[in-house]
Amino acid sequence: MDFVVEDFNGAGMYYSGQGAREWADIDGIVRRLPLYFQASQQAGIGGSPIFDPKATNAFLTAQSAALGWRVIAVPHDLTEFGTDWDGGKGASLAEWQFSNYPFLWNNVIRSEAVYKSRIQLQGLQPVEALIVVTKSRVFPSSNSTLYYEQAKAQIQAVTKFGAFSIPIRLVGLTIPPGTTAVTVTWSEYPGRYSREPGRQVIKQMAVRWKRPGKHGSPSASFTDT
């Protein structure tokens, strides 16, 4: 998987220094990440290929766990903002953010709270930074789910006002511009709310690029070859 990165509040300095090993883990995992697609169940476009967040999330969680990352429970006083972070290791927290876009702020707010308070979470060092992995707009996806370009614009907007101080590394899953074909792991789920695919197959898909949209970000459509 190809990806792009945007750093906020000194995350670039942190992940090239104290957090270099933590970033090396995530960098390696994302580079090994297959491109997972599934069939849309949305009215009007049912059956068309869209990004598969469940298989992507499972891969990131399993691969990071093998390197010592683990799910970190949110402190009791912050459970209004969710139950856990997807990963934590050293002084870093990590989130695989593929759900509806407002949840980005749940993740940032609770991470900012533990960063400022210096709470030590489940044996971690005091939190120094947050990594958020999401998808770019190039991949078709379910309505209202977060994409990298949107997250980047929103975080840029609030950090101009000093609203958050935690270093954040935003990672956007993508494919190189001009790509004409990709290999996809196609997930088939037995039901709409199934977490585990009943079957996965490898497909070759053609890529057709579309005009850039909001934030100047390109999108694409994918079809079987």
User: Does CATH number 3.90.226.10 belong to domain 2-224?
Assistant: no
Q: Where are the domains of the chain?
A: 2-224
What is the b/e burial string over 84-93, where b = at least 16 CB atoms within 10 angstroms of the residue's CB? ebbbbbbbbb
What distance in Å separates the CA atoms of residue 209 and residue 160, rounded to the nearest whole number? 32
pLDDT in tens, the chain (225 residues): 999 999 999 999 999 999 999 999 999 999 999 999 999 987 666 689 999 999 999 999 999 999 999 999 999 999 999 999 999 999 999 999 999 988 999 999 999 999 999 999 988 999 999 999 999 999 999 888 999 999 999 999 999 999 999 999 999 999 999 999 999 999 999 877 788 888 999 999 999 998 876 666 789 999 998
pLDDT tens, position by position, 155-165: 999 999 999 99
pTM: 0.94
Cα(22)–Cα(71) distance, integer angstroms: 15
Phi, psi of 146 (to 5 degrees): -65, 145
189-201 confidence digits (pLDDT tens): 987 778 888 899 9
Residue labelled with tokens 């750093």: 7
